[in-house]
Structure formats: C-alpha cells, structure tokens
C-alpha cells in the first residue's frame, strides 16, 4: 500500500512512535477529571502533544507518514521531545500557539507558562537539527498574581491578534478581570480591564461575594476576538481650533458571562493605558424571558461578514447569533448605555461607535450522550449530561464550520447559510430575492463525530484534545485525542466511493475550488511577489548606497594616507630644526655663562676642590720622593751584603721578618704610586 495516499496516514497515525511512547504511561496519565482538555495541536504539518507525566511536549512531522515504503531516502518515523527549562508548576490543560508559531502558551486553571519554539535546521528542517531531546526556554506569566491569590482560577488564555510582535497574551481570570501581558515583561500586565464591580473583593476581604456572583452568572466565563474594525479618533488641534478626524484599527472582544450576557470591548495595543469602555450587555433579538439560559460556558466568533457569534451552554445548546451594528445615536444616549469598565470615557472607543446587537438566527441542541434516563443521574453521579461544559474550536479550513469538544465526545457543526448571509450583507437594501433565499435556507448540520461515553455505565473518557489539520498534502482532517491516547483522524472533505455527483455539483465544486484557489493562493502569491520585488528593489538601493559609501571610504582612506605621509615628512623636518635650535640655545647659554663677571656657586666649589687637590699632590710628591730614596738605600745595602763572602750576620728568623717588612713597605709604596697616578689623571697633569 502506498503511504502517499492521504487516507493511509490517518490509519497509521496511532502506530507512530510518538503515540506508542505516550501510551507507555497510559495508566498514570489518566485523570479522574471529567472536563475536556486541549493537549494536542497541529502547526504547519507538525503535531504537538503535551505529556503531563514528564512535563514536556512531544512533536512529530505528520508528512513522514505519506512516504512510500520503497522510497529512496525515506525519513525514519521519529519524534522529538521539547523539554521546559522551567516546567509549569500547575497542571497544563491547554496548548495554544501564537499566530507566527514561535511561542506556545501552556495553561491550566492554576497558571500559564510560555515556551519558546526552538529553531529548525538540517536536511529535514527539524528542531535543533534533529535532536531527540531539545531544551526550550520557558517561563511563567503572571506568576506573582497566581502565587499571592491561591483561590484565583484561570478561565481562558488566547493570543492577541493585534500584537505587532505576536507576544501579547490575553488571560481571563475568575476575579472578573481581563489582562493583557507582554511575554517579554511577564511579571506585570500591559493592560487590564475590569469586567465587573466585584472584581476587587475577590482577593481582599469577601471571597464569598465572588462565589455568590459566580453562582448568579455575573462573572465572565469566556471571551473571543472578532475581526478588526476601524474606529474614528479625534485629535484636537490647538492651533486650528478644530478637530481632525482619522481612524484607528481596534480589535473587538466579545465577553460572555455565565448568565449569557454578552459584552463588547474594543482593545488596542498602541497605548499602554488606553481609555476604553465596556459596552453591554448587548441586546439580543428576538428577546427571551430567560435571556436564552443562565448556564453559558463558551463563546466563539466566526470571521465572516457579518461576524457570527456562537454561544454554548453546559446543557448542550448552541446559539448562532449574527452581529448587527447599531444605528447612530446622540452622545448622551450612547453614554447612558455604556457600561463602566474601570476607566474614563475617551474621545475614541465606544462613544464613537454604536453599540452592536445580536440577532439569534437559530439554536440547536447537541445530543451529548446516546442513551440514559433521569434515574441514571442518581445511579452515576459522574454522569451529568445537563452540566457538561463545551469548548468551541474554529475550523481554519472553513469559515462556515466549527467543532465542539466536551467530556462525552466531539460534535461538528456546519453552517450552509454562511455564504448566502455574506451575499445578502453585500447586496443592496432593495434586493429582496437574497432575503427570501436566506429565509428559506436550511438549518445548520450537526454531526456527532466521536462519542466517548455512549451509555451512563461507561467510564468517564473525556476528550484530551481536538485540532484541525489544514495542510494541503495531508488533507483537511479533524484529530481527536481520547483519554486512552488514541488519536482519531476524521477527514473533513471526502466523497463516498461510487458516488457520481451531478454536473451542477461538479460545476459548483469547480467554481468554489477556483475561487478558493484565486483568493487563498493566487492572491497571496501576487502579494508575496510584490513584497519580494519591493524587497529586491530595497536591497538593490541598499547595495548601491553601500557601494557608494565604500567608494567614498576608499577615497577618504587614500587621502588620509597621503596626508599621513606629508605629516610624517613635516614632522621629520620640524624635529631636525628643533634639534638645531636646541644646540644653538645651548651654545648661547654657554657663552652667556662664560661672560658672567662673577663666578657661580658651582664654579667656586670647583675652584676650592682643585686647590685642595693641588696641595694633596704636593704632599704625595714629597712622600714619593722619600720612598724612592729609601728604595735606593735598600738596594745599596742589599748589594753590599751580597758582596760579603762570609755567612750572613742575621739569623733565619730575622731574615724572614725583614722580608715581611720589605713586602709591606712595597705594598704601601705601590698604593701610594696608584694614588699619585689617579691624582694626576684627575688634575690633568
């Protein structure tokens, strides 16, 4: 079987070494918790799975499953382990990538940490060249906040889509505060928004009031980002006395409370302390007595035009709400409808934008379990189909589809009327045909893809993760990680074997594929080509400028070299003249000193020293003459004694003593001669 078939990699996925390794600790990794988690994510064809036992992240390339068995140079099936330098202290329940894919948020109810994705290199572009274990820098965010407030719970974490560096993290906590952190400065929040009046009482004195508010559903439980909008900004020009009106791109946030009230908040990262207002609760049409329930748990905004908001409840009911922009009103009326947000009202923000409203287009109830009676709730306390939190997941391959994960399985919801709604919003107001076509449209399509607890007697088996593979080689696929570390891969686009679509369906499919190809590929390639051309032109200009700078530097170096040579020659000439001037000055000073009428102190001392030496020379001369006379006398005496034939009159001891005396006298005479000679040399005689 050729592994290059897109269907084959889905069947071989569970035999991958990554999942075989994770199953080795299956018994230890099972948790008694019944909530669904998000421990698996796919980014650019690579799957990442959080391993709670080792506090690390396992990753593998899914495209290796597409290789043929006899392919030359086949890559081995392997996985890499990304280790945390500072592992999270609390349990990790969710793994979220930032838009650029270079940071990962690891978060749970007790805190959030950020891991930096290592670089890729090597033949197969693997992390750190293909090492089995790679150390990744990780650090906690808002560590002091969760350490000082033990009762504080983290409800949701998401990356801010308007971050210029993709490093701003948005966290929602149980104290009814929405905080934005810059992970480069993770200790203090970059921005903070109060979503309720009892936010401060949570951690100071009255924790019971916060619990009471949660029981009434008056605290925020979830949020979602909507497509960016242009908000008018008024800058007062003092020298003109008028106002210049311009726009600023802001990113709306829909905040959901437990009582299903939806609030609207405009955010911008251009200022650290912006003055914004929390609008709401938004009006929902048509109105309902119970406000469409009091047990909301999750909210999701689909990026269509107009935006579509999905609200999920713990009982399994979904509400599809179309966001409608309100009409322009007076500032006074608008101010009265704006809810407080812990900051003053600015000339920009909600006062310049009408408050939107929600139109509940349809509602649908999910079948969470395949069987069960009311008596099963008493028999099985852990079986509570009416209290099952649902987590909503967008589908990157289609704007008209999203997925729901919960403790009992996975549902997929398709909205076939999204494209018609878009055409209706783009059409003229007098176009009634599109309105009739929209009203006759079919409702949403709900598919129960995975059921992990079909009957109440089944053990709890919450979903550990849901993600969508959007790679074109792998094909659009929904991956579900079950509690027994089994990865279920379901294709999102498939045609049954033997099915023969009609010509109209083929034409619609071809038209849709062509449109998607133009919008998603050709247009992006054109944009990429333009950016590459701009970059090439910019690099050419930089190269020409750098070449010109190099030529200028060469000329400057040449001129500096010539200048240095000239300065060296001038220095030699100046040095020679200076030596000549010094000699002339010395001669002048000597002549001046010689012509002075009075001797100096040094000359007087020298004269005295010469006079004393002259006297010493005379004394030494006399002493030398006496020594010579004695020497002559001794020679005559010795000669006379030698002529005598008789034996000497002196004894042997006397002769010896005499020799010693003569030797001493000779030594003294030699020293005197040396002194005389030295005196002569000193006096120049």
- Cα separation values, 559 from 509, 555, 567, 586, Å: 72, 6, 12, 40
User: Three-state DSSP class for 139?
Assistant: strand
* Beta-carbon contacts of residue 178 (< 8 Å; ≥ 6 apart): 170, 171, 172, 192, 193, 195, 220, 223, 253, 255, 265
- Predicted pLDDT at 343: 38
Give the whole-angstrom CA distance, residue 417 versus residue 540: 50
Q: Are residues 364 and 277 in the same domain?
A: yes
Is 567 within a domain? no
- Predicted pLDDT at 439: 57
Q: Are residues 111 and 149 in the same domain?
A: yes
Q: Which residue has the higher pLDDT, 295 or 498?
A: 295
Q: Are residues 150 and 41 in the same domain?
A: yes
- Predicted pLDDT at 116: 95
Helices marked H in 239-345:
331-337
- Cα separation values, 300 from 255, 307, 320, 514, Å: 10, 10, 10, 29
Is 94 within a domain? yes
Q: Total domain count for the chain?
A: 3
Q: pLDDT grade, residue 345 (50/70/90)?
A: very low
Q: Are residues 113 and 68 in the same domain?
A: yes
Give the whole-angstrom CA distance, residue 406 versus residue 404: 7
Is 557 within a domain? no
Which domain-ending residue is among 532, 552, 584?
A: 532
pLDDT at 171 > cutoff 80: yes
- Predicted pLDDT at 402: 94
- Asked whether 349 and 333 are in contact (CB, 8 A), the reply is no
Mean pLDDT of 504-527: 82
Helices marked H in 176-239:
207-215
Is 334 within a domain? no
- Predicted pLDDT at 530: 92
* β-sheet bridge partners, residue 339: 278
pLDDT at 175 > cutoff 70: yes
**End-to-end CA gap in the chain:** 124
DSSP state string for 629-679: HHHHHHHHHHHHHHH--SPPSS-HHHHHHHHHHHHHHHHHHHHHHHHHHHH
pLDDT at 130 > cutoff 90: no
Mean pLDDT of 362-374: 75
Q: Which residue has the higher pLDDT, 363 or 294?
A: 363
- Asked whether 679 and 620 are in contact (CB, 8 A), the reply is yes
Q: Are residues 16 and 159 in the same domain?
A: yes
* Beta-carbon contacts of residue 495 (< 8 Å; ≥ 6 apart): 501
Q: Are residues 70 and 34 in the same domain?
A: yes
Q: What is the pLDDT of residues 178-233, one digit of tens each?
A: 999 999 999 999 999 998 765 444 444 444 445 666 766 678 999 999 999 888 87
* Beta-carbon contacts of residue 241 (< 8 Å; ≥ 6 apart): none
pLDDT at 239 > cutoff 50: no
- Predicted pLDDT at 350: 45
- Predicted pLDDT at 384: 63
- Predicted pLDDT at 198: 53
- The segment with the largest mean pLDDT, out of 29-38, 125-134, 267-276, 433-442, is 125-134
In 3D space, the residue among 122, 15, 33 whose CA is nearest the CA of residue 77 turns out to be: 15
- Predicted pLDDT at 599: 76
- Predicted pLDDT at 105: 96
- Tell me: cis bond preceding 503? Omega within 30 of 0 counts: no
Is 301 within a domain? yes
- Predicted pLDDT at 274: 74
Q: pLDDT grade, residue 335 (50/70/90)?
A: very low
Q: Are residues 489 and 508 in the same domain?
A: no
- The neighbour count for residue 113, using CB atoms within 10 Å, is 24
- Predicted pLDDT at 332: 47
- Predicted pLDDT at 569: 95
Is 344 within a domain? no
Q: Are residues 58 and 118 in the same domain?
A: yes
Give the whole-angstrom CA distance, residue 321 versus residue 284: 8
Give the whole-angstrom CA distance, residue 299 versus residue 305: 18
Q: Are residues 13 and 151 in the same domain?
A: yes
Q: Which residue has the higher pLDDT, 23 or 438?
A: 23
How large is the greatest C-alpha to C-alpha distance in the chain, in angstroms? 176
- Predicted pLDDT at 104: 96
Q: Are residues 401 and 420 in the same domain?
A: yes
Domain membership of residue 477 as a residue range: 9-198+207-218+464-493
Is 250 within a domain? yes
Mean pLDDT of 72-99: 87
What's the mean per-residue pLDDT of the chain? 82
- Predicted pLDDT at 206: 45
pLDDT at 425 > cutoff 90: no
* β-sheet bridge partners, residue 220: 257
Q: What is the pTM of this model?
A: 0.69
Q: Are residues 165 and 254 in the same domain?
A: no
- Predicted pLDDT at 333: 47
Is 683 within a domain? no
Give the whole-angstrom CA distance, residue 237 versus residue 234: 9
Min mean pLDDT across 439-453, 542-556, 615-629 is at 439-453
- The segment with the largest mean pLDDT, out of 131-140, 246-255, 396-405, 519-528, is 131-140
Q: Which residue has the higher pLDDT, 628 or 338?
A: 628
Q: What is the pLDDT of residues 479-493, one digit of tens each?
A: 999 988 889 988 887
- Predicted pLDDT at 212: 65
pLDDT at 158 > cutoff 90: yes
Min mean pLDDT across 380-384, 599-603, 652-656 is at 380-384
Helices marked H in 51-183:
143-148
- Predicted pLDDT at 199: 43
What's the alpha-carbon Rg for the chain, to the nearest Å? 50
In 3D space, the residue among 304, 426, 415, 281 whose CA is nearest the CA of residue 357 turns out to be: 281
Q: Are residues 211 and 157 in the same domain?
A: yes
- Please report which helix (H) or strand (E) contains residue 107, including its range: strand 103-108
* Lookup result for tokens 């190809």: 517
Mean pLDDT of 56-84: 82
Length of the chain: 685
- Predicted pLDDT at 564: 96
* β-sheet bridge partners, residue 113: 106, 140
Q: What is the pLDDT of residues 552-609, one digit of tens each?
A: 999 999 999 999 999 999 999 999 999 999 999 999 988 887 787 777 788 888 889 9
In Å, how far from its chain's centre is CA 326?
40
Min mean pLDDT across 37-46, 506-515, 609-618 is at 506-515
Min mean pLDDT across 198-207, 242-251, 482-491, 610-619 is at 198-207
- Predicted pLDDT at 431: 54
């Amino acid at each position: 079987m050729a592994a290059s078939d897109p269907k084959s990699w889905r069947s071989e996925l569970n035999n991958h070494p990554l999942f075989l390794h994770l199953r080795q600790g299956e018994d230890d990794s099972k948790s008694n918790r019944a909530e669904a988690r998000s421990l698996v994510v796919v980014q650019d064809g690579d799957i990442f799975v959080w391993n709670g036992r080792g506090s690390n992240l396992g990753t593998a390339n899914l495209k290796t499953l597409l290789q043929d068995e006899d392919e030359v140079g086949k890559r081995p099936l392997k996985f890499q382990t990304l280790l945390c330098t500072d592992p999270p202290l609390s349990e990790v329940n969710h793994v979220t990538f930032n838009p650029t894919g270079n940071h990962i948020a690891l978060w749970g109810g007790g805190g959030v940490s950020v891991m930096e994705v290592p670089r890729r290199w090597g033949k197969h572009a693997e992390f750190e060249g293909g090492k089995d274990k790679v150390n990744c820098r990780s650090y906690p965010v808002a560590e002091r906040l969760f350490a000082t407030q033990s009762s504080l719970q983290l409800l949701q974490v998401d990356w801010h889509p308007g971050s210029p560096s993709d490093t701003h993290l948005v966290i929602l906590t149980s104290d009814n505060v929405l905080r934005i952190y810059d992970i480069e400065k993770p200790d203090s929040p970059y921005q903070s928004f109060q979503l309720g009046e009892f936010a401060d009482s949570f951690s100071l004195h009255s924790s019971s009031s916060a619990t009471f508010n949660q029981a009434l559903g008056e605290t925020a439980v979830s949020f979602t980002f909507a497509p960016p909008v242009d908000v008018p900004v008024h800058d007062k020009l003092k020298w003109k006395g008028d106002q210049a009106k311009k726009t600023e791109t802001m990113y709306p946030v829909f905040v959901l409370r437990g009582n299903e009230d939806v609030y609207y908040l405009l955010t911008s990262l251009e200022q650290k302390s912006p003055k914004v207002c929390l609008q709401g609760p938004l009006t929902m049409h048509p109105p309902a007595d119970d406000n469409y329930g009091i047990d909301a748990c999750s909210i999701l905004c689909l990026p269509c035009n107009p935006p579509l908001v999905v609200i999920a409840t713990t009982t399994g009911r979904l509400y599809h709400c179309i966001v409608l922009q309100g009409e322009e009103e007076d500032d006074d009326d608008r101010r009265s409808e704006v809810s407080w947000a812990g900051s003053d009202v600015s000339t920009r923000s909600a006062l310049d934008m009408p408050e939107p409203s929600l139109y509940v287009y349809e509602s649908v109830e999910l079948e969470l379990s395949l069987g069960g009676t009311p008596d099963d709730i008493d028999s099985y306390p852990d079986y509570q189909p009416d209290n099952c939190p649902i987590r909503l997941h967008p589908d990157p391959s289609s704007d008209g589809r999203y997925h729901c994960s919960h403790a009992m399985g996975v549902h997929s919801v398709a909205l076939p009327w999204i494209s018609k709604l878009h055409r209706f919003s783009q059409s003229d107001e007098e176009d009634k045909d599109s309105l009739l076509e929209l009203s006759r449209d079919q409702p949403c399509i709900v598919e129960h893809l995975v059921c992990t607890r079909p009957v109440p007697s089944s053990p709890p088996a919450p979903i550990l993760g849901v993600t969508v593979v959007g790679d074109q080689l792998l094909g659009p696929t929904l991956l579900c990680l079950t509690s027994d570390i089994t990865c279920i891969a379901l294709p999102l686009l498939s045609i049954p074997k033997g099915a023969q679509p009609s010509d109209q369906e083929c034409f619609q499919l071809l038209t849709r594929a062509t449109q998607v190809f133009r919008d998603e590929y050709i247009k992006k390639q054109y944009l990429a080509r333009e950016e590459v051309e701009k970059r090439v032109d910019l690099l050419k200009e930089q190269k020409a400028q750098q070449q010109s700078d190099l030529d200028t530097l060469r000329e400057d170096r040449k001129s500096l070299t010539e200048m240095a040579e000239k300065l060296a020659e001038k220095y030699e000439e100046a040095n020679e003249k200076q030596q000549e001037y010094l000699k002339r000055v010395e001669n002048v000073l000597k002549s001046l000193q010689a012509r002075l009428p009075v001797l100096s102190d040094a000359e007087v001392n020298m004269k005295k020293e010469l006079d004393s030496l002259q006297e010493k020379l005379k004394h030494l001369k006399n002493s030398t003459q006496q020594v010579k006379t004695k020497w002559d006398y001794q020679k005559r005496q010795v000669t006379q004694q030698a002529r005598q034939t008789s034996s000497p009159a002196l004894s042997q001891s006397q002769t010896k003593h005499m020799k010693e005396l003569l030797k001493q006298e000779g030594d003294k005479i030699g020293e005197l001669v040396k002194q005389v000679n030295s005196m002569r040399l000193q006096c120049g005689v």
